[in-house]
Structure 1
């Protein structure tokens, strides 16, 4: 029992004793003899008076106790919790409440907090200045990773992902059914994507190569291991594995005098090239097999014609017909093969897949660049652009060719404006460079297409025709006399549009720069200790929330939305989200619609719970679940175990229970109230993903407060939560 409470109880006891003494004295005074008129109080009346006095005295004493407790016990405790919360985030001030003395104390505390905040702001400003160059380097890294055409994944020795780029996310999150499978993320295991034995074997090859070399040679010659594997979507990837070297530490492998802390995977999608090679092999095989018969017949007929000089005319004609027919068959076979495999046979240059609209934007910018000494740049407009077309082209060469043609029009025919258009024409894309009013003859146009290009003093040995043929296309000059328009028309093959990026990546690209890296994970090892003894700051979390048709899971209410995000290395990964509406296959109550705003029409075409839960389990694999009032959400999940076969057996932490541990004297532990106490902005309430985001921010604010109370491990947090009153609530 604290000293203020002991003092209050002592004062209350003294007051009660005094009141009882006063009441007893009054009762004795009332117990006198009847007066001269014979009027007096009977024993029953004296008892009633005594009881009333005692009740009044007890009531007054209770009021005194409650008032003293609120002024001198509860108020200081609430103030202490507010000070602790304020010290964690330095935003709020202590409320001036309680007795006058405590209000004065609160004012003094607020002055200290203001001084502390000023000092922290000064330190923060200095830290921001010191980190400016580091942030610049990180931005360069992010830009470099985003522009790479290859997939890059960096892992520590446990296979935990600590860096990846958008290309890797695009290729490695495609599921076998064509949908998105949440397999890749910071802190997640690469073995959910690739076979563990394959990675282990490649690491062993790296280590063996390092052992065979000396330390100096290892640093200079340490190369990469290579292997080919398939993604869950069936794409074929060629992987180059290189080691990440580091200093001595607890999470590294010592090989050949070198310390390896992790590995880098550079992935190339070789599905298309593998298919092309297979087609070429089939072409060669078909030509060999199909040519043996005709060539044998031609050879036999030729030998007979050469050996028998006096062969009868009819027989000679028959042999000549055999030679003619077999040669025709052979020629037809070669023509058919050349037609069927022309694109594969002509594809020698490295081409890039580009959106057609982007091709026109870049081409227009290149054409419109003002040359030195030029008073006016050539005007360029785009029109009739098909936004859905993708092209596989030599981008630089194509831009160079279009600029060359446009500038020759400006220089030799004084054309002031050209237009670019892109449309679909059957199985090809039609790209036109057109202009109005000025015509040229076909001979001039053909010479422009065949001459080596020379642009602004830069000469190229290639012609426009060479560049277009690199792209497996064709180009010609054409006039339309009715519209007074002339144009160079380029026909290009259409490429398949790449798989769309996951929604979370697109959302992150539109907002803040997505953080696809976390180098601190190099020092994270699963083998170091058991999960229950892991520090809370070292664990990965999935913060989740659900929206439901009602509040009674045991009476048939269903989940209609699951939202979740992840926390890795004490950072909320806003770009790694799970957000899915669910068709409950039952009616929604009007009361629930008023809360979350999700109507029946929004859920009609959504997947059912048996489809969503396996994907959600994959998203939160190898993490600790975190929720607010998590017992409510977990009850819904548990009731679906038999139907879906999906069990969530990982540990669960509840921010409601943790708030009761941290702030036991607060009257409410609603999410909004906790967020206000901890200085967390509330947004997107009553949407599953919005609530999960707020819960994640609140949980991160709680971690240092829990550490100050000595709650540092998962086991300690779970045990402290189970001791609170709210842990006894059942659903």
Structure 2
């Protein structure tokens, strides 16, 4: 019955009860006092006692009324405020908990109706925006794929040298991802990955040149791995700026940042050095025996030269020098082949089936090709291999070879061609077989000295290959070729035909690998946020806006709940939030060897066993890596004192101090929803409409992602309450210190 009353009538009823109760209490006290005074005839003392009793009765009644108001109105209003903020700012779509607000009358149902209308309006707006931006989103995906597949590393940096964009090739050039998935990160200094002086000097040169279209070439090195990188820097103007701008001294007027394109010159330098050393050694090792042989031959050919035993000694010396020269030439030739294999472009990979399809297309697609009736049964057979060779040159060579063999001798035609690629050792064998007479070696040698004309265009290197001979292409491919006669009866010839013959040409490929299992596609690692180009920087953390901070949300799994009793971390995971969004490719996740057994009760919670961590790195190694991942960021955790206690306890072993600023989603939840609510991670994510898959709950990474999503939904609600800076949010956290200790010093 009471639940159906309006909130105004409920408040009236509360105060009516308070007034009536006070009157009743006073009157009862007076009656009791009058009776006591009549019995004891002590009026003064009696009325003092009456006043005290009445006062306590009124206080008790007031406390009782407050308890009812707090549980049925104050707390539900606080809860309703938090729910409304979450739906207005955090785009939460779950139904409001009306059962917890039953005594608020129609207010809760009206709020539910408003939020439903708001959700519907937001949904309609979202659908409209999605329809209008779908084409842009598709183009964005194409651009990401294109930028990530660019063969050069690309970095985009702000004018204070913070990373705004990087692609997958840049990740590789800067040292790649380590076992914990740590690599380049947005809004981190480029000098964390490249040595500073060359980059800074190039930037200053361009800034002082007053030329927004200028570029500067530089040579720098990666800090991780020390690779030597060639780079080109080009400045970026401010958005909307089209013309040159006069620079003030010390003020970059038109450069909001710069682009660095990177390529690895370490391999080029090493290859060039090896070639130079080989050439120097070749001259050194060939010059002396060649000079000695020339002298000895001169002596032997003189008319009055030595005779008898002396002549034999000279001949023996000449023979020895010739042997040394031959041995040196053979060794140097072997080393040259190895060097060519290691440095040849031709580290290009091509599927065997694709190569043979291209050859078939060359044969039947050319206007000057033989008619299809002349090659009625060309068969191509390819093993599931990926060849390491220059596919363009190989296709040109094989198609030209096939046409040459097919022409043959009109009196002894060749037919029944079969082009096959099979695995052979560490490489592959390409064989061209046919029914008909074998190809004489002399004919093959003559053909190799002729120009091999590709179908059209240039090779991958961009050089026109029309004038190359077959022998030059073989040298380029680093292989050889030979003809063979195949035993057995030729297909298509009568058994009694004495002319039935079969021939074959063999061409080995030195390097190949099986391709039975498709290689998993590499994850796209391009990351960017162009808003960082114009991001304001505040050196005072206390006054920094929440949107301008970089956050690292983390979670740990442990062997137990008590760090002070020897429990240790067995898994740690973290994600980065930059400019209000979680960067999908910037993740830290690793198991940790706790150097102690994991109790079965803990394994039941997080699923981590002793076997899983036996080969994992220890906290002394993982800690500094995580500390570097969280550099210059605000740490965010759910129940941060628990996780930080484990890290800080081992800080002396790690050699780092975890003195980062800290935000705690438990306290932030209390700021939004009030202390009376449940603030567990499950309860918080349920209120915010976030689903944690059961299979990743109580895993470090699963809980980290859930905490990050909850934090991103709490941020708009905090700003709606006027909490805009880091100092504001720390002050708000400390108001709820009864729940948890604030970890900021």
With over 3 angstroms needed to count, the CA separation of the structure-2 counterparts of 1:722 and 1:76, relative to structure 1, is closer
Is structure 2 residue 81 aligned with structure 1 residue 86?
no
Match of 1:630 among 609, 630, 640: 640
Unaligned runs of at least 5 residues, structure 1: 35-49, 498-504
Structure 1 CA distance for aligned equivalents of residues 604 and 521 of structure 2 = 27
Tell me how far apart the structure 2 counterparts of residues 344 and 544 of structure 1 sit (CA, whole Å): 48
Task: Measure the CA separation in 1 of the matches of 2:232 and 2:109.
Answer: 63
- Count of paired positions: 680
Contact 1:229 1:239 in 2 (8 A): no
Match of 2:574 among 564, 567, 571: 564
Q: How many Å separate the matches in 1 of 2:436 and 2:223?
A: 54
More displaced stretch, 720-729 vs 410-419? 410-419
Does residue 688 in structure 1 map to residue 700 in structure 2? yes
Aligned residue number for residue 135 of structure 1: 137
Matched residue, 2:478: 472
Where does residue 711 of structure 2 map in the other structure? Answer: 699
The answer (yes or no) to whether the contact 2:428–2:512 under 8 Å persists in 1 is no
How far the C-alpha of 1:530 sits from its partner, in A, is 2.7
CA distance in 2, matches of 1:341, 1:304: 34
Look up the SS of the partner of 2:617 in the other structure.
coil
Residue 72 of structure 2 contacts residue 103 of structure 2 at CA under 8 Å; is this kept in 1?
A: no
Question: Counterpart of 1:539?
Answer: 549
Give the distance between the partners of 2:454 and 2:290, measured in 1 at CA. 51
User: 2:504 aligned with 1:493, yes or no?
Assistant: no
1:362–1:399 contact (8 Å) kept in structure 2 = no
> How far is the alpha carbon of 1:195 from its aligned partner?
1.3
How much does 1:114 deviate? 2.8
**Normalised by the size of structure 2, how large is the TM-score?**
0.78
Preserved CA contact (<8 Å) 1:5 1:69: no
- Contact 2:158-2:257 at 8 Å conserved across structures: yes
Structure 2: runs of 5+ lacking an equivalent:
1-7, 40-50, 366-370, 408-412, 459-464, 492-501
SS of 2:510's equivalent in the other structure is strand
User: In 2 relative to 1, CA 547–481 (structure 1 residues): closer, same or farther, beyond 3 Å?
Assistant: farther
- List per-residue Cα deviations over 1:304-333 (Å, max 9, x = no partner): 679x86455356666566555445533432
- Give the stretch that moved more between structures: 93-102 or 574-583: 93-102
Separation in 1 of the partners of 2:617 and 2:339?
A: 41
Residue 430 and residue 100 in structure 1: after superposition, are their counterparts in 2 closer, same or farther (change >3 A)?
closer
Q: What does residue range 354-365 of structure 1 map to in structure 2 within 5 Å?
A: 354=349, 359-360=351-352, 362-363=354-355
Match of 2:282 among 287, 310, 315: 287
Contact 2:432 2:505 in 1 (8 A): yes
Counterpart check, 1:265 vs 2:270: no
Partner of 1:192: 192
Cα deviation digits, residues 523-564 of structure 1 (max 9, x gap): 1355x5333322111111111100001111111110000011
Find out whether 1:274 has 2:266 as its counterpart: no
- Give the TM-score normalised by structure 1: 0.79
Q: Distance in 2 between matches of 1:189 and 1:656?
A: 31
Larger mean Cα displacement after TM superposition, 108-117 or 395-404: 395-404
* Alpha-carbon shift at residue 223 of structure 1 (Å): 2.5
> In the alignment, which of 509, 527, 532 is matched to residue 516 of structure 1?
527
Match of 1:430 in 2: 428
Could you give the per-residue CA deviations for residues 367-412 of structure 1, whole angstroms, max 9, x where no partner exists?
6879789999988665464xxxx75421333355567778999999
| Structure 2 counterpart of 1:620 | 630
SS in 1 for 2:528: coil
Residues 254, 145 of structure 1: alpha-carbon distance in 2 compared, 3 angstrom cutoff = farther
Task: Determine the structure 2 residue equivalent to 1:72.
Answer: 73
Give the C-alpha shift of residue 599 in structure 1: 1.4
| Matching residue of 1:577 | 587
- Counterpart position of 1:37: none
Structure 1 residues 627 and 11: CA distance shift in structure 2, 3 A: farther
Q: Compute the displacement of 1:283 (Å).
A: 1.6
| Between 555-564 and 443-452, the greater mean CA deviation after superposition | 443-452
Give how far 1:602 is off: 1.3
TM-fit CA distance, 1:290 = 2.8
Structure 1 residues 531, 665: closer, same or farther in 2, change over 3 A? closer
